[in-house]
Chain A
Amino acid sequence: MIPKSGHRFSETDHAREKRMDRLYAARRRRNLITMMLSVAATLFGLGWLVLILGALLYEGFSGLSLKVFTEMTPPPGADGGLLNPIIGSLLLTGLAVLIGTPLGILAGTYMAEYGRHDRLASVVRFVNDILLSAPSIVVGLFIYEILVAPMGHFSGWAGAVALAVIVVPVVVRTTEDMLMLVPDTLREAAASIGLPRALMITRIAYRAAKAGMITGVLLAIARISGETAPLLFTALNNQFGSFNLNAPMASLPVVIFQFSLSPYADWQRLAWTGALIITFTVLALSIGARALAASGKQS
Chain B
Amino acid sequence: MVLVALHGGAAVITEVESRSRVLGRLRLTDAVFRNLTRAAALAVLAILGGVIVALAIGAWPTLQTFGLNFLVEERWNPVTERFGAIAPIYGTIVTSFIAMFIAVPVGLMIAMFLTELCPIKLRRPIGIAIELLAGIPSIIYGIWGLFVFAPFLQQHVQPALISAFGEIPILSTLFAGPPYGIGILTAGLILAIMVLPFITSISRDVFEAVPPMLKESAYGLGCTTWEVVRHVVLPYARVGVLGGIMLGLGRALGETMAVTFVIGNAHRISGSLLAPGTTISATIANEFTEAVGDLYTSSLIALGLILFVITFIVLAIARYMLMRIERRIG
Q: Are A145 and B284 in contact (CB under 8 A)?
A: no
Q: Is B329 an interface residue (CB 8 A)?
A: no
Count how many pairs of residues, one from A and one from B, have CB atoms less than 8 Å apart in the complex: 266
Stretch at the interface among B1-9, B36-44, B153-161: B36-44
Bound: A180/B60 CA distance, A: 43
Closest B residue, CB atoms, query A111: B41
Q: Are A135 and B256 in contact (CB under 8 A)?
A: yes
Q: Are B226 and A42 in contact (CB under 8 A)?
A: no
Q: Is B301 an interface residue (CB 8 A)?
A: yes
Bound: A66/B193 CA distance, A: 33
Q: Is A189 an interface residue (CB 8 A)?
A: no
Q: Are B308 and A49 in contact (CB under 8 A)?
A: no
- Whether A52 contacts B110 in the complex (CB less than 8 A), given A133-B247, A135-B307, comes out as no
Bound: A39/B308 CA distance, A: 37
Closest A residue, CB atoms, query B310: A135
Interface centre among B42, B139, B141 (most CB of A within 10 A): B139
| Interface residues in B, total, Cβ within 8 A | 88
> SS class of chain A's interface: helix, strand, loop or mixed?
helix
Q: Which of B14-70 contact A (CB under 8 A)?
A: 26-27, 29-30, 32-34, 36-45, 47-48, 50-51, 54-55, 57-58
Other-chain contact of A137, B32, B196, B284 (Cβ < 8 Å): B284
Q: Is A198 an interface residue (CB 8 A)?
A: yes
Q: Is B94 an interface residue (CB 8 A)?
A: no
Q: Which of A33-69 contact B (CB under 8 A)?
A: 34-35, 37-42, 44-46, 48-49, 51-52, 55-56, 59
| Interface residues in A, total, Cβ within 8 A | 91
Q: Is B101 an interface residue (CB 8 A)?
A: no
Other-chain contact of A196, B27, B57, B247 (Cβ < 8 Å): B27
Q: Is A123 an interface residue (CB 8 A)?
A: yes
Q: Are A135 and B40 in contact (CB under 8 A)?
A: no
Bound: A215/B3 CA distance, A: 61
Q: Is B12 an interface residue (CB 8 A)?
A: no
Shortest Cβ gap from B105 to chain A (Å) = 8
Bound: A136/B38 CA distance, A: 26
The 8 A CB mask of B96-109 against A (1 = contact, 0 = none) is 00000000011101
Q: Is A157 an interface residue (CB 8 A)?
A: no
Contact partners of A107 in chain B: CB under 8 A:
37, 40-41, 43-44
Q: Are A31 and B109 in contact (CB under 8 A)?
A: no
Q: Are B26 and A196 in contact (CB under 8 A)?
A: yes
Bound: A115/B254 CA distance, A: 31
Contact partners of B37 in chain A: CB under 8 A:
106-107, 109-110, 113-114
Q: Is B137 an interface residue (CB 8 A)?
A: yes
Q: Which of A204-238 contact B (CB under 8 A)?
A: 222, 225-229, 232-233, 236
- A selection of 15 A-B contacts at a CB cut-off of 8 Å is A52-B141, A106-B40, A109-B37, A110-B40, A126-B316, A127-B48, A139-B51, A196-B29, A202-B33, A228-B137, A256-B143, A257-B139, A271-B143, A275-B143, A283-B136
Task: Beyond A137-B307, A146-B50, A165-B47, list 8 extra A-B contacts (CB 8 Å).
Answer: A44-B106, A105-B40, A115-B38, A127-B45, A131-B48, A135-B255, A222-B135, A286-B132
List of 5 A-B pairs having minimum Cβ-Cβ separation, nearest first: A226-B137, A135-B254, A106-B40, A41-B109, A110-B37
Residues of A within 8 A of B (CB): 27-28, 30-31, 34-35, 37-42, 44-46, 48-49, 51-52, 55-56, 59, 102-107, 109-111, 113-115, 120-121, 123-124, 126-131, 133-139, 141-142, 144-146, 165, 168-169, 172, 196-199, 201-202, 222, 225-229, 232-233, 236, 253, 256-257, 260-261, 268, 271-272, 275, 278-279, 282-283, 286-287, 290
